A = this chain, B = another copy of it.
Amino acid sequence: MSTTDTLPRPLTGEMLIGARAIAGTDKPVRAIEAATGLPMEPAYGGGTAADVDAACALAWAAFDTYRETTPEARARFLEACAQAILDIGDDLILRAMAESGLPRGRLEGERGRTVGQLRLFAAELREGSWVGARIDPALPQRAPLPRPDLRLRHVPLGPVAVFGASNFPLAFSVGGGDTAAALAAGCPVVVKAHSAHPGTSELVGRAIRSAVAACGLPEGVFSVLFGSGAVVGQGLVADPRIKAVGFTGSRAGGIALMKTAAARHEPIPVYAEMSSINPVFLLPGALEARAETIGKGFVGSLTLGAGQFCTNPGLVLAVEGAALDRFLASASEALAAAPAQTMLTPGILQAYQQGVARLAGNNRVRHVASGAAAGAATQGQAALFETTAAHFRDDPALAEEVFGSASLVIRCPDTATMLRLAEELEGQLTATIQMQDEDLEMARALLPVLERKVGRILFNGYPTGVEVAHAMVHGGPFPSTSDGRSTSVGTLAIGRFLRPVCYQDMPAALHPAALRDDNPLGLWRRRDGVPGHH
């Protein structure tokens, strides 16, 4: 057991429970080197119920102290986390490359994104409108009854369980978006590391832990557990001290957590990002004007990161005709040139291959094109299929996500059918409209349908690439997520871990800084309903 926060190399295979590093005694987890399929050192002993209990107890003990740190103190902590992640240096990139099979450029970019979102939340903490502060001053002379003094702020929900995602070993994992948002909100975090990248998780976990220590915060602010979904994952969600859950993964996994959370004595919010096929609507004018360009751009989005994105374009809808054929020819050509890519895990590769085989074996689906053949048993080959609107409507299985570089083009007889199919889709993270000026009317007809179905609507772009910004929504109606009222990316995500509290006639000596009359934090607040820095 190590009690220091110095980064040890080689990796120890230990869980990080507050300030302790401890080897799990349950069935061990081991990374599989993505490119070779071979197991990697070290083994990560799985956490037990006792480990879950220990991490939750520390998180709970830390909560009251941590949540009343100043926004400035939490901002500095997030910045320290970002710097500590950078300070790991190339070891982090090398380990993440080995565990995920993702290329260096992608992982360096993802590290930048991870660090960037920690820093963006630091800035958001300082800006302060996330507090949602409101003051309705007393009206002692009001008749028939005086109005009391009412002050409202948002407070953190409590310790949050964060589940690392397989496909973003940095940006949606130990130090990823949910962790950043929860820590910003004032919630301690207990991470269930994804078993596909335990070494990356240990490195980032130790970095954040060093920031906890350096900032003088209670050790329970942050822990990382390894192990099984049944013991560690379900155990965390069932623990009464956990007050919210952030998850990115499969629909089955997300729904299992939703059920556990709903069955608790005290149900808690679950923010599970699950499945999405991200329909792309090629409107007739755009198809006519830019079929070839769109074909190439589409394949670029489809094959990015071996298609292992929540926002991968898995469905294309267009009116059949010569322009659609031009799109398909262009996409086929681009796809043929797309190299096979190492996939994240043997399980993901197998599921992808099964999904592709299911489409290929469906006699109402036509195979359009494939990417370059796999050069190794760990690689996935991109694939494009097509079917008719009638077949698509008949077979709900065709609307299921195939996680990877596979997409299905729906030949529609007319735009009315495109609209109708849009109406029948399940909830999605994104929808994309490729359009020209002459498509405005059709876009206007699609928009209300899509607004009811998706979290983000893109125009003349592609859904992969999720900007970390103030106006981003990475979320959407079920089943794309379990709770469409929220986003997992961008500064609005802090709100998912907050709830409002009102103070009535609170003595001034007790006012939290955010609600003091002199507004020492310089917050944007609503005073008698009027917004301003007052």
- Residues on A lying within 8 angstroms of B by beta carbon are 63-64, 68, 109, 123-124, 127, 129, 132, 134-136, 144-145, 147-148, 150-152, 155, 157-158, 258-259, 262, 266-267, 269, 426-427, 435, 437, 440, 443-444, 447-448, 451-452, 454-461, 465, 467, 469-473, 475, 477-479, 482-487, 491-492, 498-507, 509-510, 524, 526, 528-531
By secondary structure, the A interface counts as: mixed
Q: Which residues of B contact A458 (CB under 8 A)?
A: 148, 504-505
Rounded to whole angstroms, the CA-CA distance of A426 and B479 in the bound complex is 31
Given contacts A456-B501, A504-B457, A504-B461, contact A470 B136 (CB under 8 A): yes
Residues of B within 8 A of A262 (CB): 258-259, 262
Q: How far, in whole Å, are A451 and B151 apart by their CA atoms in the complex?
A: 13
Q: In the complex, are the beta carbons of A509 and B470 less than 8 A apart?
A: no
Known: A68-B448, A151-B471, A435-B507. A455 touches B127 (CB 8 A): no
By a CB distance below 8 angstroms, the chain B residues around A479 are 266
Residues A472 and B502 in contact, CB atoms below 8 Å apart? yes
Residue of B nearest to A475 (CB): B500
Contact of A440 among B109, B147, B509 (CB under 8 A): B509
B471 engages A510 (CB within 8 Å): no
User: B residues within 8 A CB of A509?
Assistant: 437, 440
A506 touches B457 (CB 8 A): yes
Interchain CB contact (< 8 A) of A505 among B151, B266, B461, B499: B461
Closest B residue to A152 using CB positions: B471
Whether the Cβ atoms of B471 and A498 lie closer than 8 Å is no
CB of B501 within 8 A of CB of A455, answer yes
The CA-CA distance from A344 to B267 in the complex, in Å, is: 31
In the complex, chain B residues whose CB is within 8 Å of the CB of A455: 499-502
- B136-A471 in contact (CB<8A): yes
CA A269 – CA B458 in complex, angstroms? 26
Question: Are A502 and B471 also in contact (CB < 8 A) when A155-B451, A258-B267, A507-B435 are?
Answer: yes
* Contact residues in B for A475 (Cβ distance below 8 Å): 499-500
16 A-B contact pairs sorted by A residue (CB < 8 Å): A127-B531, A134-B471, A136-B469, A136-B471, A150-B467, A152-B470, A157-B485, A158-B452, A266-B427, A266-B477, A266-B479, A267-B478, A269-B483, A455-B500, A485-B500, A487-B502
